[in-house]
Amino acid sequence: MSETTGPRMLEASGLRSGYHGVTVLKDIDLDVGNEVFTVLGANGAGKTTLLATLARLVPLTSGSIVFRGDNVSAIPAFETAARGMGYVPQERGVFPELTVLENLNVGGMIGERSPEERMREVFDLFPDLEALQGQMAGTLSGGESRMVACGRALMQDPALLLLDEPTAGLSPLYVDMFFEKIQEIHQDKGVSIILAEQNATKALEVADRVMVLSLGESFAVKDAAELTTDQLKEGYRI
């Protein structure tokens, strides 16, 4: 596990947001440092809305978001990306009409290091993508698409990576692989991660701290090792 003290990568206070006048998130507070911060909760708990709000894809109705010391509450998503926030949505998250290589190059348009250097790192992390680089993204399997979406976000050289249920619907083999890669991205590359997951057992294996969301509210924020089964069941309304 990682050191979670020190400067905060992201701080959010009193977050309220939703869709079409319906409030989904209700006064969420969180802070994330150099760690894997996992958001758990049942379907409909607000995990996807939380990550999309942090990425500035869903507008706030109240509250604030501070990223790397700057208030980003009112700026567009492309600006948070340029400042070092990578986002991998829950759906496949690829441009189906582009090749794998072209998808990755879209991410490479942001960042200061050479795209070639970053591409080499993505291929080292996901060797399958090097073999698939000329294939149209729309023809990929679910697991392959998730690798492309994650690789494209990493091409941006993020300081913080938001991962929205990266293993949803994947085979056990891909699930195990993705959790290994999450640890590798954090530990070897020093990237802070906010991971939204339903697979609590696997997510807790890689998490430093965890927030349990329940019906848009923060039910508990704990060190992962301190979260009890009873707290988890209560948060999931089991």
Residues 150 and 174 in one domain: no
Residues 8 and 76 in one domain: yes
pLDDT of residue 123: 98
- pLDDT at residue 2 is higher than 60: no
Give the domain extent around 95: 91-157
Residues 146 and 176 in one domain: no
Percent of the chain clearing pLDDT 70 (strictly above): 97
pLDDT of residue 235: 87
pLDDT of residue 6: 57
Residues 151 and 166 in one domain: no
Q: pLDDT digits over 30-40, tens only?
A: 999 999 999 99
Please count the structural domains in the chain. Answer: 2
- pLDDT at residue 238 is higher than 70: no
**Could you tell me the two tokens for 178?**
């993705």
Q: Which of 50-59, 108-117, 130-139 has the lowest mean pLDDT?
A: 108-117
Residues 76 and 176 in one domain: yes
Residues 113 and 20 in one domain: no
Mean pLDDT of the region 189-217: 96
Record the pTM.
Answer: 0.94
| Closest C-alpha among 198, 232, 197, 215 to residue 26 | 215
CATH number, domain with residue 183:
3.40.50.300
Residues 57 and 165 in one domain: yes
